[in-house]
Structure 1
Amino acid sequence: MACWQRPLLTLYSLLNLLHQLSSSLTALVNWIVDDTGSGNAVLYFPNSHSIWKGSNSKDCWLFPDVTRTHGGTYTAATYRRGERPITLQLRFEGTAIYVFFILVNRGSAGTIMDTICNITLDNNPPKRYVHNPNPSANQFLYNQLIYEHSNLGNSSHTLNITSHGSDSSYINFDYFIVR
């Protein structure tokens, strides 16, 4: 005599499981935004091609290998003490952000290679990031995580990366990831 058993998962349990799974998968999705951005995701101030140079510019002292960058591009600028501040602004919606730069260890004499900047998320106090060149290391360091912040409210955020003041600085932005 065959015995009929109740299904292990009721329809309600199955729908609940699917909802939890879809919520978990949504939370794990990352979006990569290249330095060229899309829409107004990446903004450069001052908005001038004489300050912010793309990877195809020949008017530079440093030439990272574009085959080692995300999307084959990067955007760089040099801040010199006493000039107007330079700012890279990232706008995003999500619960986490990870920012990646190309850092420099070696270059021609007189070339600014330090990366020094203040990073401000929304209206929080700035965090200072400093990379001093290491002449005995590789000339360029690719995919370098310079800032991360997780556990954000799932809403619109603005991240400003600014170089100003008494420290000259080389900024080379490659991409950021949003979760």
Structure 2
Amino acid sequence: MCLNASSNTGALFLVLFLQVTAVRLQAVNRSIDDTFGDSVTGQRPVFSPTTPGVWANQSCTRCAIQPPTSDAFDGTYTASTYNSTLGNISITFDFIGTAVYIFFILVNNPPNPNIAATTAANFTLDGALVGNFTHAPDPLLPDFQFNESALAFSTSDLENATHQMVISTSGLNESIFVNFDYALYTFENAVETESLTSESQSPTFVTSTGSSPRSTTKNRSPVGAIVGGVIGGLAALGASVAVLFFRWRQSRPSALTSATLLYLNRSEVSNPPPVDTISEPRHPWQRVDLNEEIEQLRGKAGEPLYLLHSPSCANFVQEEVFARGTNTAQLQGQIHIMSEQIALLQARQSSMWEQGLSNEAPPPYTSQLPS
């Protein structure tokens, strides 16, 4: 029987979670309401001129045009009617970001045809005129337009820095209605994240009251945390590789520790003891001794032969034979010797002497084995 020279060993799996803190810029939309101001800083727009009665909010009861506050951003708005005697009206606010979007409330069906309902304005960014807007009432449209349907101006691809926006109406001979609802600006916010995938966020236009985006995030740049996380992760990875290698070396079986090859030298094949002349017939128990000897020699001859022909032990036998300096031919020669001994014993067993039919002594064993 061939013993298995290897043993089952469990595999070691080590999963490393390398959490690296990274900093990226995230686009965040912030609002500037006409009444509540910046959603982060609280800074309100400046309405000029500051003369009482020029600008009015949603609380005005004597105003001819009164849009429903349920559709206005944060339920508020600030409006004015320009005329040539005013010279100029304006709305000014500052913001830090890369884009800005300005929303009016537009009128299509004024309660009286004689009421000014046309809207017109210029947009000046950082001292430079960047656009203008004009809207004439359209009876086929809803009475009032809000939010994205009332987008008066937008610009993007700005430097993520402080900018000043001025919305103005001036130099016109007709009356102009200007109703400022709110503005949105896009701010590139530095945030910590475990994901290195960049994101961009488009502005979200509000379609109902009270849905003001008010997002704040602290700006930090943890360079030390990034470097430390990377170094720590590499150290942990190296340690895990060393542990796996050590476990693998320990689990390797020794080539010659699980089984010993049955091997016989010529000197180990013993001669049977001399047999004296027997005058009495042999009894059955005397024949048993020869049977046992035959079976023992068969076992010794059969085990090396099994090892030579067993596929599962072929490599192991080859290593053992080479380790002892013996080749296959020598091993087969020993098997042949033992086979001859078996044949001799079988001949004795079947002889007339062994069966008790002769009083002559059996033939002696040879003292030397053939080489």
Question: Structure 2 length normalisation: TM-score?
Answer: 0.43
Deviations 1:124-155 (A, max 9, x none): 22411111110221111111111111121111
Matched, 1:81 2:74: no
| Contact in 2 for aligned 1:114/1:169 (Cα 8 Å) | yes
**Structure 1 stretch displaced more, 109-118 or 33-42:** 33-42
Taking the TM superposition and a 5 Å limit, the aligned residue runs for 1:64-79 are 64-79=67-82
Structure 1 residue 92: deviation in Å? 1.1
Task: Give CA-to-partner distance per residue, 1:84-124, whole Å, 9 cap, x none.
Answer: 20001121112211111100011112111111111111122
Q: Which residue of 1 aligns with 2:162?
A: 156
Matched, 1:169 2:169: no
Aligned to 1:132: 136
Per the TM alignment, residue 48 of structure 1 is displaced from its structure 2 partner at its CA by 2.6
Name the structure 1 match of 2:152: 146
40-49 vs 101-110, which moves further: 40-49
Q: State the partner residue of 1:103.
A: 106
Contact 2:131-2:153 within 8 A present in 1 as well: no
2:119 pairs, out of 115, 118, 121, with 115
User: Counting helix residues as a fraction of each chain, which structure ranks higher?
Assistant: 2
Higher strand share: 1
Question: Structure 1 95/126 Cα, relative in aligned 2: closer, same or farther at 3 Å?
Answer: closer
The number of residues matched between the two structures is 169
Higher relative contact order (CA closer than 8 Å, sequence separation 6+): 1
2:31 paired residue number: 32
* Structural mapping, 1:56-67, within 5 Å: 56-67=59-70
| Contact 1:41/1:91 (8 A) holds in 2 | no
Quick one: distance in 2 between partners of 1:152 and 1:168? 33
Contact 2:132 2:153 (8 Å CA) reproduced: no
Structure 1 spans left out of the alignment, 5+ residues: none
Task: Provide the aligned C-alpha RMSD in A.
Answer: 1.8
Normalization by structure 1: what TM-score? 0.86
Where structure 2 has 5 or more consecutive residues not aligned to the other structure, the ranges are 1-9, 187-371
Q: Match for 2:33: what amino acid?
A: D
Give the C-alpha shift of residue 169 in structure 1.
1.2
